Homo-oligomer: A and B are copies of this chain.
Amino acid sequence: MNAPAVSPRHRVFQVLENPNRADRLSWAVEIGLIVLILASVTAVALETVPELFARFHTEFRLFDLLITLAFTVEYIARVWAAPEDKPDKPAWLARLHYMRSPMAIIDLVAILPFYLALFMPLDLQLLRVLRLLRIYKLARYSPALTVLMSVIREEAATLLAAFSILTILLIFAAAGAYWVEHAAQPEAFGSVPAAMWWSMVTLTTVGYGDVTPITPMGRVFGGAITILGVGMAALPAGIIASGMADHLHRRRDRLREEFRCALEDGHIDLGEGRKIERLRRELGISREIAHGIHQDVRRKQFQRLQCTCPQCGHEFQHKGDDE
């Protein structure tokens, strides 16, 4: 062990919850868990192929047993080490708090079905699908995913509004198609809910082609709906684009603010440098861009600070310009 002074519980916490590249063990555990998750999901998917299931029945069960054991150990270790994150709370409270976090619930869902199936008869299909959810355990390992998810969360209200416009258009398209086509195609357009299938497939530009308008009026109406579909697809793309750009600027501005504070006294000392570096990695900003921000802040700060009068030699603070 390369950190003998820390307690075992702190070490487990470091390895599982606070991994960094320099720590070999923590890195190995991270890679190992990612491989286990992928292997587990692949096995569950392959299990649904009837031929494979018939032939490798025992192997699939054994593999699932091993993986469930590994994930159980992981879950217990995480719960046990949780108090390290909140040293000021009682241990049981910190653990309870951790157990209610989304990632911990996903971890529990990944193992619970196995144990439940020991005590009561569970549908095999349900078990399989629940085991597929293990893929969500991967969410822990990608910082860019976190950024993307937070953009989606921030834009949720606007995306929901786009979705409600889509819903209104879906109903409108289905009603229109039902109106013009239900005489010609009583099967596919016989009711508004039936026509909904066509309107969903068309407005999302998926276009299976299993159901299409065949009357001239239906094709004129259907053509207009395909064009609206292009417009509909543009809404979420526009919302995400604007949200991504805004999120990016705000992350940069936070780093810029940090540089500004640190440069108040004219230079960045060691502590400030470390703090900035940590923030930079947390925000997922590249080293080059951070350097550019540093230069920019420095230049502006410098201009604001230094000025010498060539006539009387008086030094004063010239507040020249600010972004």
Interface residues of A (CB under 8 A from B): 41, 44-46, 48-50, 125, 128-129, 132, 135-136, 138, 142-145, 147-148, 151, 154, 157-168, 171-172, 174-176, 178-179, 190-194, 196-197, 200-202, 204-210, 212, 219, 223, 226-227, 229-246, 248, 250, 253, 257, 284, 286, 289, 292, 295, 299-300, 302-304, 306-316, 318-323
Name the B residues within 8 Å of A314 (CB-CB). Answer: 309-312
19 contacts between A and B (CB under 8 A): A46-B193, A144-B160, A147-B161, A151-B238, A157-B284, A166-B230, A197-B219, A201-B223, A204-B230, A205-B205, A208-B209, A209-B210, A230-B233, A230-B236, A239-B244, A241-B245, A302-B322, A321-B321, A323-B323
Complex contact B300–A321 (CB within 8 A)? yes
Name the B residues within 8 Å of A162 (CB-CB). Answer: 148
Name the B residues within 8 Å of A310 (CB-CB). Answer: 308-310, 313-316
- What is the CA–CA distance of A59 and B216 in the complex, to the nearest angstrom? 23
Complex contact B292–A320 (CB within 8 A)? no
Name the B residues within 8 Å of A205 (CB-CB). Answer: 204-207, 230, 233
Complex contact B231–A234 (CB within 8 A)? no
Complex contact B318–A318 (CB within 8 A)? yes
